[in-house]
Amino acid sequence: MLGKVLKNFDIRTFWRDVRFLKWAGQVLFLVLFAYSLVLFVQTGINNLQSTNIPFSFDFLGDPPGVSIAEGFETLPDSGLRMLHVGMFNMIRIMIGGIIVATIFGTLLGIARLSSNWIVEKAATALLEVVRNVPLLVQILFFQAFLLAFPRLEERDRGEITFHVSSKGIAYPWPERQESAFMFFGFLLLTIYLARRVFKWRVSLLEKEGRDTNPFLWSFLTFLVLTFGNWVGGYKLMGIIGLISGYISIVFDSIPSIAYQVLFSVIAVFFAFRYIRKQIRNTDTGEIRGILSDDDYFRIILSGVVAVFVVLFMFMPLGQNLTYFLEGDELFYKSNWGIPQFFDGVAKKFDFNISGPPVIMSYPEIIQAGTTKFTRYSPDLGKVTTVGYFATWFGVTLYTAIFISEVVRSGIMAISKGQSEAGLSLGLRRRSLLRLIILPQAFRVMLPPMGNQYLNLAKNTSLGVAVAYPEVVAVGQTLYNQEGQTLPVFLVWMIFYCSISLSISSIINYYNRKMKIVER
Amino acid sequence: MIRDNKFFIENPYGRWVRDNLFSSSSSAFLTFFAGFMVIYSYRGIVGFILNPERMWTSVTYNMKLYMILAYPDEAMIRVWLSVGLALLLGGLSIGFYNSGKTISLGGIFQKLFTISAVIALLIALAPTNTNVIQNDGSIEVVEIIPQDVRMLILGPSLVLTLAFFFLKNIKIKSLFNTAKVNLTYCGLIIASLYFIKIPTISLDSSGERIIPDPFLPIASTTYIPWTILYVGMLIFFFIGSLLKNRDIKIMARLIPIGWFLCPLFIFSWIFKKPLVELNTVFSADIPSILVFGIIGFLIIRFSDNQSLGAYRTPINIGFLVLSVVVFLLPVVFIFKATMVLLLLLLVVSPAIATTKEGKRQLFIVWVVSLFVLTFLIRGASSDTMLVTPTGSIFGGFSLTWLLAIFGTYASFPLGLALALGRTSTLPVIRIICTGIIEIVRSVPYITWLFFASVMLTVFLPSGVEFNLIIRVLILTAFFSGAYFAEYIRGGLQSIPKGQYEAANAIGMNPFQRIFLVIVPQALRAIIPTLVGSVITSFKDSSLVAIIGLFDILRIGTSVIPAQSQPVAFIGRNLEQLVFLSFFFWVFTFVFSRRSMKFEKRLGLGER
Amino acid sequence: MSIIKTVDVKKWFGDFQALKGISMEVSEGEVLVICGPSGSGKSTFIRCINRLEQHQEGEIVVDGIELTNDLKNIEAIRSEVGMVFQSFNLFPHLTVMQNITLAPIWVRKKSRSESEEKAMELLERVGIPEQAQKFPGQLSGGQQQRVAIARALAMEPKIMLFDEPTSALDPEMIKEVLDAMKELAESGMTMIVVTHEMGFAKEVADRVMLFDDGLMVEENTPKEFFDNPKNERTKLFLSQIL
Ligand SMILES: Nc1ncnc2c1ncn2[C@@H]1O[C@H](COP(=O)(O)OP(=O)(O)OP(=O)(O)O)[C@@H](O)[C@H]1O
Ligand SMILES: [Mg+2]
């Protein structure tokens, strides 16, 4: 082999050799790219050093000195905690938005295909209005609209059911009681069982060829079990608490470092296995031995996830690693850990708990502390703040409009021929929809739907314009306090990259699954 | 029941109603439900807009602020020239590309009928009263459309509706050119500037006190320039038609180039103060144009020469070396740029200047581009008007527009490069480009804007400082470049493998293959997507308001609601946002509709 | 004098060996027809000759130039070898005229007027001068394939490769393409034609080869090939196809 290469080697013409040209070009490109990157970073480091705020992540551990308007914690004790509140606020909007936008968007998409003139035209008009106005303008409009409501005055004080003011929207909300966890645990079990029953009836239908009413059966199962749940069936879930209690005791008795290492090893093992599978897959696939970009991404992603799991294992549990590396407290104080987690679970799932899972709680307008201002009570009912409402509503409506386009074109893409073929086989309309149209339309719709979810996730960042404390707004507050712009930017970048990666890998997973079904 | 009624079977209108509104009982239910919803929301919106609490003068009074912020009055002529340039070019292209489609008088009446019927319906359905929330929380009912006003509008529109209904069925042979009809509509809009009156506020001579002058024509200060521009547009329309009739082929190339250059010209007119010193014009510009013009002429004249053709490669290389040398020498930038242009001429002229006609056209292009180049470079190298000592004077809609256009300009080549990199067969290049695209795309635009506003300066060598607008443009180019790259990649992947093979088989090198065969096809395949993404970047440009640029949105949300002089508009956000929604809506809606038509026409000519 | 010479050419796709050692020679002005069952490596072989595929072992020499990784040799060979594909592969965004003149202008660096004249000549030769300003999508399959022939000829190649030029065409269009090819063969062009048109092979070919499973199993004059094949495999193939 080498001998042959040497035989063919000609010093006069080797620079014209295609292989040489290819690699020379790539190396040159790499060098140029790396050089400009280094230059860029170097300038950055130099410039930062010459200012009096050198690059550091210290602010993540320091108390931020500011409070947050809303979130699971309004007075966070460290920068990182504060960012977590922001991230949680963002995810809250994202999940609510995805669910509502999908439902509303689907309805709208179907309305656009309606044969009813007025429904079709109304849906189209809504689409044309929302689609052609910048999202930011819409969000600001919703904010201004709410702010134009009267302010809360002293005379408003007292218990209320539904109230809109420039402070937000207050409405009754079922409040979780002690038994809620057990109730919902049992509910999940119920849903699972109802599904099993459905599948069982369907398989019976296929085997025996008679109508076995799968819908009715599973619905009845659900009803019966939920009724049982309500009257006290949830106590069964206490068994989980019992087991968790034992687990907690077991984990408490072994040194924390042991299971940190254990879980890390497990994570690395799975990542390794996943990567190996990916490489094998591509090796036997059509394009032999060539990894596509998607494969590279999957491999890198699984590596990153494994590293994160390892870090996560070591990070909050007494900060072993960070103490070791930094010598001081880098991350926020917490006594969160595996034994504590199971302990918590054991407390939530207890045979002794009784009472209804939820109780309706009504909002109330109260005096704010000793001041003469008036506000909604934070503990009663549910209050949606102006910022939250404007961001959530704006983002959801905007995405729903685009989802309706996806749904519409998805259904239209399934040709008329398909439904005619189905009808000619003697399928009834509902079976036709369930067995032929929807599975195909869903496959066509999935990738663009995923894109819309990604857009929604990114658009939540516009909350910064209406002072909704999501991760960008919180980050901005933080760097205005500490001057650490770049670290904050890095946090943003990592956060959004991981959100995007998670959404797209979920979509990719389903996409692949569908494709396999197709073949 | 209704469905069996004779009217619903025999009458065409009846049949339409039956098929589209009451085709089944559920459809009938939907009709009533949706109809109720639509009417209810319509009445709500009208009530909202005509509510006496709204103060629409805050919008009309600040129209100039919205468009150009504090652009100096003495330089306003530049703004008009820019708008004029675009309009004249528009007139020229409408004339030149006039498809000759016609519409009959009946068709026009049909449209007018629809419009007047809709107006009558809307007026009839409009609410009489609206609710005003008082400060003490109580609700008061206020009359917004008095009965006599309603009748005053309803009566004539009903009469017109009836008239058009009968007129549209009259068979009149005469046909009208759609382009001309559209121009007439434009004219009507211009005329309406004189007649339609809106509530305004005007100042007395001292400039401080307001005289509430309830109604003035919409554009009381600007209708004269608009009229002049409209007339100019008409003239250019006829010039365009003339050129089309004479079948001047070169125009088909010049007009797109004109559109491409138009924003650059406007940029240098509005945002720069070109320093035109007669001294430099005569001592440097004119001679250099002359010299290069002559060189270009010689090249064009002799490039066809066969004996010279053999030496073309050495001559090309010679010019390449020469222009590199000139680039390194400390000479005026114009020379450097012209040398590069000359090289380009040298490369293309053998292919184009083969006939007498071709030679003449190429020479004209050459001279024009010399002038353009000189003008642009002179403009770019003179003082900027972007910032004055008192802060930014530059903003409003012109800034929004600038960001959208230049964002597109800069991001397109970047996106193309990234897309080619991502589809490349060379792994290193592919991985790097993929990484850049994915990272840039997964982070929201607003974070990149924050990066531009507070972080980018850190990475620039000391001494280099960019204006915030420029920094935003750089980041915008990257951001939308990454998006473009994905769209273009879609186009590239739709090109069958056979095209690459055919290009290889006829001996093309990789560059020729990509730029002559693959990219033109790929771009053609994704024009609709690209248009969509231009609209998106127009809408996205409103985000710069968050980082403190005074674009049209920021003027509406923080400048005007803080005005207390001469009229207090404090807290008037809602009006501004309604106006801005409407404003953006008109632009994007019209643009997307136009581009849809354009795409249809484009699709016809090819293949 | 042989203008194409291949020695023991081997080619693998991953683990699969598509060519298992092909040695042959073609002399100037000769018309060679290659036939064989599907998947036998015919296309792969002629695509190796102008480097659309890269062979891994063996030697290919075209007009005295050896096909190596040297860019200069690859370019030289490609500009001497024209190719016509089964699926035409015309450039849909260019007119017929532009399709033909693209390579002369950009690769051969000829002036536009000269290349357009030449292109008109070629279009007349293949019998469709009136279609010059149309786009490929507006032409019939047979017309498109004739444009593809003209496009390849515009580079003034010494050798023409045809990869099943008629198998994507309707029967009535096949004839017009074959006529153009016949005319080309009579003018003395060196041609390698992969085809299943046995009539064409009988009438025009100077030699016929049969490929099977990556090997050349028979090489013969047309008369001998059809009337008196040496190889069992050939007999089987002919019995299936005729
Ligand atoms: N790019 C490729 N990757 C993997 N295998 C390939 C590739 N191209 C061709 N092959 C394989 O090489 C073998 C020869 O293919 P080739 O196209 O040369 O056959 P052919 O004789 O032209 O057949 P046909 O008459 O059907 O065109 C086939 O088995 C084919 O599957
Ligand atoms: Mg083949």
Q: What DSSP string runs through A277-337?
A: HHHHHHHHSSSTT---HHHHHHHHHHHHHHHHHHHHHHSTTTTHHHHHHHSS--SPP----
DSSP letters spanning A71-128: SS-SS-SSHHHHHHHHHHHHHHHHHHHHHHHHHHHHHHHHHHT-S-HHHHHHHHHHHH
Tokens of residue B155, six digits: 């009566």
Q: Which residue would you say has higher pLDDT here, B2 or C174?
A: C174
Give the integer Cα–Cα distance in Å for C76 and C79.
Answer: 5
- Touching subunits for chain A (3+ Cβ pairs under 8 A): B, C
pLDDT at A311: 63
* Radius of gyration over every alpha carbon of chain B, rounded to an integer in angstroms: 30
Which CATH number do you get for residue B556?
1.10.3720.10
Residues 128-157 of A with CB under 8 A from B: 128-129, 131-138, 140-141, 144-145, 147-150, 153, 155-156
Cα–Cα distance list, A438 to A63, A318, A339, A517, C161 (Å)? 53, 51, 46, 14, 49
Residue B60 located in a structural domain: no
Residue B320 has pLDDT above 80, yes or no: no
Residues 433-492 of B with CB under 8 A from A: 434, 438-439, 441-447, 450-451, 454-455, 457-462
Whether C90 has its CB under 8 Å from any CB of chain B: the answer is: yes
Q: Which residues line ligand 1 (CB under 6 A)?
A: C 13, 16, 18, 36, 38-44
Mean pLDDT of chain A: 80
Same domain, B492 and B594: yes
Residue B244 located in a structural domain: yes
Tokens of residue B275, six digits: 């320093």
pTM equals 0.83
Residues 129-148 of B with CB under 8 A from A: 133, 135-137
For C194-235, the pLDDT digits (tens) are 998 888 999 899 999 999 999 999 998 999 888 888 888 888
Q: Which residue of C has its CA nearest to A5?
A: C69
Q: Buried b vs exposed e over C117-133: b needs ≥16 C-beta within 10 Å?
A: ebbbebbebbbbeebbe
- Ranges A213-217, B68-72, C62-66, C181-185: which has the least confidence: B68-72
3-state secondary structure of B592: helix
Same domain, B236 and B282: no
Q: Looking at ligand 1, which residue's alpha carbon is closest to its atom 6?
A: C13
Q: Looking at ligand 1, which residue's alpha carbon is closest to its atom 7?
A: C13
The count of residues in chain B is: 607
pLDDT at C211: 93
Task: Give the pLDDT band (50/70/90) at residue A329.
Answer: very low
Number of structural domains (chain B) is 4
- The answer to whether the CB atoms of A141 and B574 lie below 8 A apart is yes
pLDDT at A4: 56
Residue B397 located in a structural domain: no
Contact indicator for A185, A349 with CB cutoff of 8 Å:
yes
Same domain, B513 and B592: yes
DSSP 8-state code for residue A60: G
Give the integer Cα–Cα distance in Å for A152 and A377.
Answer: 12
Residues in contact with B233: Cβ distance below 8 Å, sequence separation at least 6, in sequence order: B87, B88, B90, B91, B183, B186
Residue B530 has pLDDT above 70, yes or no: yes
Residue B437 located in a structural domain: yes
Residue A325 has pLDDT above 60, yes or no: no
Same domain, B115 and B36: no
For B322-333, the pLDDT digits (tens) are 877 877 777 777
3-state secondary structure of A240: helix
Cα–Cα distance list, A41 to A35, A54, A483, A497, B437 (Å)? 10, 14, 18, 21, 19
Same domain, B190 and B285: no
Residues in contact with B83: Cβ distance below 8 Å, sequence separation at least 6, in sequence order: B229
Q: Which H or E element spans position C113? A: helix C112-126
Q: Which H or E element spans position A232? A: none
Same domain, B234 and B129: yes
pLDDT at A98: 94
Residue A518 has pLDDT above 50, yes or no: no
Same domain, B251 and B352: no
Distance from B414 to chain C by nearest Cα, in Å?
24
For B253-289, the pLDDT digits (tens) are 778 888 888 887 777 777 666 556 667 777 777 888 8
DSSP bridge pairs for C190: C159
pLDDT at B258: 84
Task: State ipTM.
Answer: 0.90
Same domain, B244 and B188: yes
Same domain, B328 and B417: no
Whether A483 has its CB under 8 Å from any CB of chain B: the answer is: no
For helices C141-153 and C171-186, angle between their N-to-C axes, nearest 10 degrees: 20
The pair phi, psi for residue B217, each rounded to 5°, is: -55, 150
Q: Which residues surround ligand 2, an ion (CB under 5 A)?
A: C 43
Residue B346 located in a structural domain: yes
Task: Give the pLDDT band (50/70/90) at residue C117.
Answer: very high
- Which of B213, B239, B262 finishes a domain? B262
Residue B594 located in a structural domain: yes
Same domain, B28 and B89: no
Q: What is the average pLDDT across B545-568?
A: 83
DSSP bridge pairs for C19: C11
For A16-66, the pLDDT digits (tens) are 777 777 888 888 888 888 888 888 888 888 888 887 777 777 777 778 888
Q: Which H or E element spans position B323? A: helix B312-328
DSSP 8-state code for residue C3: E
- Which of B194, B229, B262 finishes a domain? B262
Q: Which residue would you say has higher pLDDT here, A418 or A479?
A: A479
- Tell me, letter by letter, the H, E, C secondary structure of B566-578: CCCCCCCHHHHHH
Residue B522 has pLDDT above 60, yes or no: yes
Residue A328 has pLDDT above 80, yes or no: no
- Touching subunits for chain B (3+ Cβ pairs under 8 A): A, C
Q: Give me the amino acid identity at A493.
A: M
Share of chain B above pLDDT 70, in %: 85
Same domain, B132 and B258: yes
Tokens of residue A322, six digits: 């960070």
- Which of B334, B364, B381 finishes a domain? B381
pLDDT at B141: 83
Which atom in ligand 1 lies closest to the alpha carbon of residue C41?
Answer: 18
Q: Which residue would you say has higher pLDDT here, B574 or B254?
A: B574
Give the integer Cα–Cα distance in Å for A167 and A169.
Answer: 7
Residue B156 located in a structural domain: yes
- Ranges A185-189, A224-228, A454-458, B171-175: which has the least confidence: B171-175
Distance of CA A105 to the CA centre of its chain: 19
Task: Write the residue in A155, A485, A496 that is nearest to B443 by C-beta.
Answer: A496
pLDDT at A296: 63
What range does the domain containing B41 cover?
7-49
Residue A371 has pLDDT above 70, yes or no: yes
Give the integer Cα–Cα distance in Å for B224 and A18.
Answer: 66
| Cα-to-centroid distance, B536 and ligand 1 (Å) | 45
Q: What is the average pLDDT across B308-331?
A: 73
- The answer to whether the CB atoms of A17 and C70 lie below 8 A apart is yes
| Interface size, chain A vs chain C, as Cβ–Cβ contacts under 8 Å | 20
| Cα-to-centroid distance, C209 and ligand 2 (Å) | 15
Tokens of residue B303, six digits: 């490039």
- Tell me, letter by letter, the H, E, C secondary structure of B399-462: HHHHHHHHHHHHHHHHHHHHHHHHCCCCHHHHHHHHHHHHHHHHCCHHHHHHHHHHHHHHHCCC
Q: Which residue would you say has higher pLDDT here, A515 or B415?
A: B415
Residue B271 located in a structural domain: no
Alpha-carbon dihedral A213, A219, A224, A229, rounded to 10 degrees: 150
Residues in contact with B204: Cβ distance below 8 Å, sequence separation at least 6, in sequence order: B210, B211
For B450-467, the pLDDT digits (tens) are 999 888 888 877 766 777
Residues in contact with B438: Cβ distance below 8 Å, sequence separation at least 6, in sequence order: A297
Give the integer Cα–Cα distance in Å for B303 and B354.
Answer: 8
Peptide bond into B566 cis (omega under 30): yes
Tokens of residue A511, six digits: 């996409």
Residues in contact with C217: Cβ distance below 8 Å, sequence separation at least 6, in sequence order: C210, C211, C231, C233, C234
The pair phi, psi for residue C142, each rounded to 5°, is: -65, -40
For B463-521, the pLDDT digits (tens) are 667 778 888 888 999 999 999 999 999 899 888 989 999 999 988 888 888 888 999 89
pLDDT at B8: 67
Report the DSSP pairing between strands C31-35 and C190-194: parallel
For chain C, the straight-line distance linking the first and the last C-alpha, in angstroms and rounded, comes to: 34
Same domain, B148 and B211: yes
- Determine the Cα angle at B281 with ends B280 and B285, to 5°: 100
- The answer to whether the CB atoms of C71 and A17 lie below 8 A apart is yes
Q: Nearest Cα to A225, choosing from A196, A187, A199? A: A187
Q: Looking at ligand 1, which residue's alpha carbon is closest to its atom 3?
A: C13
